[in-house]
């Protein structure tokens, strides 16, 4: 490597006057001082061009050996990702050398002085262009990955989204309050991340899955309106849109009706989109009861960017001779269908694969029929009589050339399965309008559902959700029919946020706990602080929480959470850059009174 002067100075030899990527034609004639990374270097033997990059973009530097030999020597020695400080004059590029692709393409910097502030090893992967390297490598060298324009853009949009949220909440009287990260483990919900207490051997803190209880207590504490950009932790398996550690915009207010929360949340979302994407989103959002969403879309977070609604064929087949369907009806179960327009053709093999998927995953059978000019075709067509064909065709709105997919079974199982088929078909036939933003609220969730695994009622939302007042009477007799004052905000088939009006009465809270199988003594042991708080004049209150990371994914147009987090973890919850989680020194464990069993 040839010679260069490396300034081992802890601060640059001169202050920066501008960001590289911010210079424009209007700056022509100015003397500027810049710092930045070498993005690319084009060496013509004597003339050398360097594209210098900082967070705002790149600008072209020109080094002419006849003008300044020292600066030129620096350019000769410089390599990709060297951090340089330069001084020079901004000049308009001569005609024919303008680069229309670059915002800075009308000008360049004629460099008079240059210093290498820090050389760099050759980067392990190229930093220009959209993700060239495998994520494995990008995560290990995250600091290099973060220099890429895409990551710079994503994290800044995320920042703008949060600014939008804060601006709205601040303007509407919400007070930002921090809650502890070291909290207590509570039953229900996801697995907790635990932190041992050194001064209380054998005891553990839990990292909060969300600040749920604390924000309720802040309402009891009289703050009236609270918000927080809160870190949350859940020790569950990861997905493309799930990390063990994530952020939510957590909001609680005193005395709201659900509509008040909706209006506020829509205002905040509008502010987010204005700040992050300069888009005006249409308001108010559609509201859809949970039951309707399940009936029409087979999902509590329906994607409304396309139609293809489910068809309830139960009545249409009421007189069927087809054994499978007849048995279904005899059990009181349901038959649902999905009518694929003739333009969306599936091969026999694709249909078989779909059927196989349902059998293995859901142990449900898929029946299908193609509506031809000479009647129904398909393996089950011969079992389906003329009358049923007419009624089914009417119920499903079938025309010639269409394909009807049918699934029979318990309603609670069949609807989500067909809902999933609906999404698969949307992906296969590219039915989604990529530019649409389809917001809606899902309301009137059930309060409870029955858990086969635990053989008891569990909360659909969380145990602090208030029942609808008119459904209070159902609590003891038919708790599964009781609806909750709960709501989810859904955007393009993704849950953006959810919340509820909370129970603010200790007796009602104890009743709900009891229905969940949490007896009075256990409730007092584990949630005594909440029950006590409710007993001291707790005001009615309710709120909502939004997934910051999911919002960031939407405004950035990416489908991986890792693209909108600075330091995400892999699917095994590992940080490949730092090596966390790591083994711990035995001495440290001893201090914590912990012995590793493995």
Partner RNA sequence: GGGGUCGUAGUUCAGCCCGGUUAGAACGCCGGCCUGUCACGUCGGAAGUCGUGGGUUCAAAUCCCAUCGGCCCCGCCA
Which residues of this protein are in contact with RNA, per CB under 7 A?
1-2, 40, 42-47, 49, 51, 60, 62, 64-66, 79-80, 93-94, 96-99, 101-102, 105, 108, 122, 124-126, 128, 132-137, 139, 188-191, 209-210, 212, 234, 236-242, 361, 453, 458-463, 560, 562, 570-572, 574, 576
For residue 233, give both structure tokens: 């932790």
Spatial CA neighbour of 501 closest among 457, 458, 464: 464
Nearer to RNA, 402 or 549 (CB): 549
CB of 149 vs RNA, minimal distance in Å: 13
Within 10 Å of residue 46's Cβ, how many Cβ atoms? 11
Distance of CA 127 to the CA centre of its chain: 25
Its sign, for the CA torsion 73, 76, 82, 84, is positive
Nearer to RNA, 89 or 163 (CB): 89
Q: How far apart are CA 495 and CA 489, in angstroms?
A: 6
Instruction: Tell me which DSSP letter residue 88 carries.
Output: E
Q: Where are the beta strands (DSSP E) in 136-277?
A: 175-176, 194-196, 204-206, 225-233, 245-254
Q: How far apart are CA 242 and CA 562, in angstroms?
A: 9
> Please, are residues 295 and 359 in contact by the beta-carbon 8 Å criterion?
no
Nearer to RNA, 190 or 525 (CB): 190
Place of tokens 């697995």: 191
CB of 258 vs RNA, minimal distance in Å: 17
Contacts of 587 (CB under 8 A, 6+ apart): none
CB of 474 vs RNA, minimal distance in Å: 19
CB of 440 vs RNA, minimal distance in Å: 20
Q: How far apart are CA 465 and CA 405, in angstroms?
A: 37
Q: How far apart are CA 212 and CA 229, in angstroms?
A: 13
Spatial CA neighbour of 548 closest among 213, 252, 164: 164
CB of 28 vs RNA, minimal distance in Å: 13
Distance of CA 83 to the CA centre of its chain: 35
CB of 591 vs RNA, minimal distance in Å: 27
CB of 108 vs RNA, minimal distance in Å: 5
> Please, are residues 295 and 312 in contact by the beta-carbon 8 Å criterion?
yes
Side-chain half-sphere exposure of 172, counting CA atoms within 13 A: 21
CB of 302 vs RNA, minimal distance in Å: 16
Spatial CA neighbour of 337 closest among 357, 318, 316: 316
Our CA dihedral for 469, 447, 418, 412, rounded to 10 degrees, sits at -100
CB of 461 vs RNA, minimal distance in Å: 4
For residue 443, give both structure tokens: 């309301």
Nearer to RNA, 51 or 388 (CB): 51
CB of 459 vs RNA, minimal distance in Å: 5
CB of 532 vs RNA, minimal distance in Å: 19
Q: How far apart are CA 589 and CA 410, in angstroms?
A: 51
Cis before 581? omega within 30: yes
CB of 414 vs RNA, minimal distance in Å: 14
Nearer to RNA, 271 or 576 (CB): 576
Report the b/e string of 315-343 with b at 16+ CB within 10 A. Answer: ebbeebebebbbebbeeebbbbbbbbbee
């Amino acid at each position: 490597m040839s010679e260069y002067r490396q300034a081992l100075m802890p601060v640059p030899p001169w202050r920066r006057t501008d960001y590289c990527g911010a210079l424009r034609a209007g700056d022509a004639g100015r003397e500027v001082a810049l710092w930045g990374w070498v993005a690319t270097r084009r060496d013509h033997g004597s003339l050398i061009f360097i594209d210098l990059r900082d967070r705002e973009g790149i600008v072209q530097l020109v080094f002419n050996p006849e003008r300044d030999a020292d600066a030129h020597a620096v350019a000769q020695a410089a390599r990709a990702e060297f951090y340089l400080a330069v001084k020079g004059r901004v000049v308009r590029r001569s005609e024919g050398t303008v680069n229309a692709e670059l915002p800075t393409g009308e000008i360049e910097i004629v460099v008079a002085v240059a210093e290498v502030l820090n050389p760099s090893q050759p980067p392990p992967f190229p930093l220009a262009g959209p993700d060239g390297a495998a994520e494995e490598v990008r995560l290990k060298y995250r600091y290099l990955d973060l220099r890429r324009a895409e990551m710079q853009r994503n994290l800044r949009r995320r920042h703008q989204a949060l600014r939008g949220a804060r601006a709205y909440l601040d303007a509407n009287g919400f007070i930002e309050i921090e809650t502890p990260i070291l909290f207590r483990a509570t039953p229900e919900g996801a697995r907790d991340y635990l932190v041992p207490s050194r001064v209380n051997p054998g005891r553990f803190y839990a990292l909060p899955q969300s600040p749920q209880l604390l924000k309720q207590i802040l309402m009891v504490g009289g703050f009236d309106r609270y918000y927080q950009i809160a870190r949350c932790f859940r020790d569950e398996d990861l997905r493309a849109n799930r990390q063990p550690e994530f952020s939510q915009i957590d909001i609680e207010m005193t005395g709201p009706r659900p509509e008040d929360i909706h209006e506020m949340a829509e205002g905040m979302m509008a502010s987010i989109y204005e700040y992050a994407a300069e888009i005006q989103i249409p308001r108010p959002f559609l509201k859809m009861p949970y039951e309707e969403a399940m009936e029409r879309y087979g999902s509590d977070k329906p994607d409304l960017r396309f139609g293809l609604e489910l068809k309830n064929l139960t009545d249409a087949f009421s007189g069927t001779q087809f054994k499978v369907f007849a048995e279904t009806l005899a059990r009181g179960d349901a038959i649902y269908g999905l009518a694929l327009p003739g333009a969306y053709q599936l091969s026999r093999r694709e249909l078989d694969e779909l059927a196989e998927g349902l059998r293995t995953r859901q142990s449900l059978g898929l029946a299908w029929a193609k509506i031809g000019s000479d009647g129904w075709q398909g393996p089950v067509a011969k079992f389906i009589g003329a009358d049923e064909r007419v009624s089914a065709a009417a119920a499903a709105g079938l025309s010639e050339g269409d394909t009807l997919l049918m699934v029979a079974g318990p309603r609670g199982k069949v609807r989500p399965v067909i809902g999933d088929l609906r999404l698969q078909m949307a992906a296969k036939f590219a039915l989604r309008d990529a530019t649409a933003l389809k917001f809606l609220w899902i309301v009137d969730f059930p309060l409870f559902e029955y858990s086969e695994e635990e053989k008891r009622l569990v909360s659909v939302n969380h145990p602090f959700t208030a029942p609808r007042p008119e459904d209070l009477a159902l609590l003891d007799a038919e708790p599964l029919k009781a609806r909750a004052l709960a709501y989810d905000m859904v955007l393009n088939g993704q849950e953006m946020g959810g919340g509820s009006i909370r129970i603010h009465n200790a007796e009602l809270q104890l009743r709900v706990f009891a229905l969940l199988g949490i007896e009075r003594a256990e409730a007092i042991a584990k949630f005594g602080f909440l029950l006590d708080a409710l007993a001291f004049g707790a005001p009615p209150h309710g709120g909502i929480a939004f997934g910051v990371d999911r919002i960031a994914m939407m405004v950035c147009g990416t489908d991986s959470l890792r693209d909108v987090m600075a330091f995400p973890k892999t699917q095994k919850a590992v940080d490949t850059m730092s090596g966390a989680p790591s083994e711990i020194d035995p001495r440290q464990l001893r201090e914590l009174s912990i012995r590793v069993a493995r």
